[in-house]
Amino acid sequence: MANQEPHRTGLIQLLLAWGFVGIPLLWGVLQTLRNALKLFQ
Amino acid sequence: MAFLSILHRDRTIAGPGFNRWLVPPAALCIHLCIGQAYAFSVFNLPMTKLIGIGRSVPTDWKLTDLGWIFTLGIFFLGVSAAILGRWVEEGGPRRAMFTAALCFGGGFLVSAAGVYAHNIWVIYFGYGVIGGFGLGLGYISPVSTLIKWFPDRPGMATGLAIMGFGGGALIASPLSVWLMARFSTPVHVGVAETFICLGVIYLCFMLVGAAIVRIPPPGWRPAGWTAPTTPQKLVTTADVYVYQALKTPQFWLLWWVLCLNVTAGIGVIGQASAMSQEMFPGKVTAIAAAGFVGLMSLFNMAGRFLWASSSDLMGRKNTYFCFFIIGTALYAAVPATGASGSVALFVLCFLVIISMYGGGFATIPAYLKDMFGTRYVGAIHGWLITAWSAAGVFGPVLVNYIRQYEIDHGVPKAQAYNLTMYIMAALLVAGFFCNLCIKPVHKRHHLGQVGSGAVPAVSN
């Protein structure tokens, strides 16, 4: 079957899915970076 | 039980127009949750004061009792990944993710009951056994799905998911500390309530992943992509059945490649804080050491994505050669950084080492796919995870016991890790030779070949 990878799945759905995992991950990274900066103080 | 029919493999086949970039977030929903396992130690000290509150009393649990919770979790991660790999592969990712969510979330709820009852055995069973099954099922469930959706970039795809496992601890650690602070009172340590909250949060988060995930229809391929027509020596187009793969030398060479790479990294992860302070007395404070550990977590996570993605360009074998050659050089250089008093060089060495530790985890599924094909890669990966469990024992034992042996024989603390570093370098040299020995799997092992073992019908 040739691929039809079109765009029926909307951009909003994609943004929601990535936001759902990306926002907590970003929060965790920022918290860790804040702690990691103590190495340089 | 009509509801359960939505878990069926056939119900997860993507319809026309499904965007494959929705699958990595589904995988991340699972891995970001189960990655909490790396942050379980934040509960250790509070759980030694559940009765004494501000201090430990004789009836409180000891740290040695609590250490078994994580150990059991990782042990059952390996066991479940190995024995349920075929079940995961044949039943599809949604059923496996759903089960993983129930086990992992449920494990926290059972553990909360154990904390209320102050019964450590309930926690061993809750987080260690039930949660451990959730860890194993969750770890392997999205791997083969991602490889099937991204045949053009399998390393990047699995790297994204397994990066989530590294990132899970970055979220769980501050979240757990915050929740415990919210629920603690002067007469109560809020561990049980935190477990309940985490159990519910992880259950919901993982169920979202199970709802989003889809498998590609048979014969699907990415737009504009055609499978390479020129055969690549170490990339097979055939499939090897899971139990047939276990009979090949390639599987066991890869087992040792993973085990040796992980052993070298896992030993220092647990000791990074103490090691940095003991090798640089007066220069690295406890607070700075905590910052160093945080930085290592970030490099562990980033290495999973970056090394696995670069393996799509470099090839898996060359990527592991990089790990083993650069890792050997860096481990051998660590004692010199200690002798020269250069904290910056010491930190740099370990950040690169830890990125390759994470990279080793994330690159191995794509290496397995190259060697054994895509059909049973999830189940084969499940068996290979036992190398992680073994490394989880070897690594810390090597670091802790050799350090103690050196101190007992009069070696100053600042130099007590030197021998360990040279042993780690030697382990990586052994890993280099295992990787060197990996050749393509003989076609007699391929599915459909005479003598390749029973070819099972896929039981949907």
User: Are B76 and B175 members of one domain?
Assistant: yes
For the ranges B279-283, B354-358, B396-400, the one whose mean pLDDT is highest: B354-358
Identify whether B288 is part of a domain: yes
- The pLDDT score that the predictor gives to residue B354 is 93
Identify whether B101 is part of a domain: yes
Identify whether B175 is part of a domain: yes
User: Are B263 and B399 members of one domain?
Assistant: yes
**Is A2 touching B (CB cutoff 8 A)?**
yes
User: Are B77 and B148 members of one domain?
Assistant: yes
- pLDDT, tens digit (0-9, with 9 covering 90-100), for B47-69: 988 988 878 888 889 888 888 89
Average pLDDT over every residue of B33-57: 88
> Which residues 21-40 of A are in CB contact (within 8 Å) with B?
21, 24-25, 27-29, 31-33, 35-40
Interface test with A, best of B23, B29, B36, B170 (most A CBs within 10 A): B170
Contacts of B33 in chain A (CB under 8 A): none
- pLDDT, tens digit (0-9, with 9 covering 90-100), for B249-292: 999 999 999 999 998 888 777 677 778 888 888 888 878 887 88
Contacts of A35 in chain B (CB under 8 A): 290-291, 294
User: Are B281 and B342 members of one domain?
Assistant: yes
Number of domains present in the structure of chain B? 2
Interface test with B, best of A32, A33, A40 (most B CBs within 10 A): A32
Task: Look up residue A7 and give its DSSP letter.
Answer: S
Identify whether B219 is part of a domain: no
- The pLDDT score that the predictor gives to residue B1 is 62
- The pLDDT score that the predictor gives to residue B451 is 56
User: Are B196 and B254 members of one domain?
Assistant: no
Please determine, for residue B176, whether its predicted confidence score (pLDDT) is greater than 60: yes
Identify whether B235 is part of a domain: no
Interface test with B, best of A8, A9, A23 (most B CBs within 10 A): A9
Token pair for B350: 């370990």
User: Are B135 and B39 members of one domain?
Assistant: yes
The ipTM assigned to this model is 0.85
The answer to whether the CB atoms of A24 and B171 lie below 8 A apart is: yes
- pLDDT band at residue B454, thresholds of 50, 70 and 90? very low
As a whole-number percent, the residues of chain B with pLDDT over 70 amount to 96
Domain holding B439, by residue range, is 242-445
Q: Which of B191, B212, B233 is the last residue of a domain?
A: B212
- pLDDT, tens digit (0-9, with 9 covering 90-100), for B70-90: 888 988 998 999 999 889 988
Contacts of A27 in chain B (CB under 8 A): 171
What mean pLDDT is reported for chain B?
89
Please determine, for residue B345, whether its predicted confidence score (pLDDT) is greater than 60: yes
User: Are B402 and B321 members of one domain?
Assistant: yes
For residues B109 and B98, give the distance between their C-alpha atoms in angstroms, rounded to a whole number.
Answer: 16
- The pLDDT score that the predictor gives to residue B452 is 53
Identify whether B319 is part of a domain: yes
For the ranges B358-367, B411-420, B440-449, the one whose mean pLDDT is highest: B358-367
**Is B208 touching A (CB cutoff 8 A)?**
yes
Where chain A has pLDDT below 70, the residues are 1-9, 41
Average pLDDT over every residue of B423-452: 87
- The pLDDT score that the predictor gives to residue A8 is 55
Residue B410, phi-psi category: left (phi > 0), alpha (psi -120 to 50), beta (remainder): left
The answer to whether the CB atoms of B164 and A37 lie below 8 A apart is: no
User: Are B277 and B409 members of one domain?
Assistant: yes
Q: Which of B162, B190, B212 is the last residue of a domain?
A: B212
User: Are B197 and B249 members of one domain?
Assistant: no
- The pLDDT score that the predictor gives to residue B459 is 35
Q: Which residue has the tokens 């499939």?
A: B239
For the ranges B63-77, B166-180, B193-207, the one whose mean pLDDT is highest: B193-207
Average pLDDT over every residue of B305-321: 95
- The pLDDT score that the predictor gives to residue B259 is 94
User: Are B86 and B207 members of one domain?
Assistant: yes
Domain containing residue B302: CATH number: 1.20.1250.20
User: Are B259 and B402 members of one domain?
Assistant: yes
Identify whether B310 is part of a domain: yes
User: Are B166 and B117 members of one domain?
Assistant: yes
- The pLDDT score that the predictor gives to residue A4 is 47
Identify whether B225 is part of a domain: no
Q: Which of B212, B227, B260 is the last residue of a domain?
A: B212
**Is B457 touching A (CB cutoff 8 A)?**
no
Whole-prediction pTM value?
Answer: 0.88
The answer to whether the CB atoms of B25 and A17 lie below 8 A apart is: yes
Residue scoring higher pLDDT (B230 or B343): B343
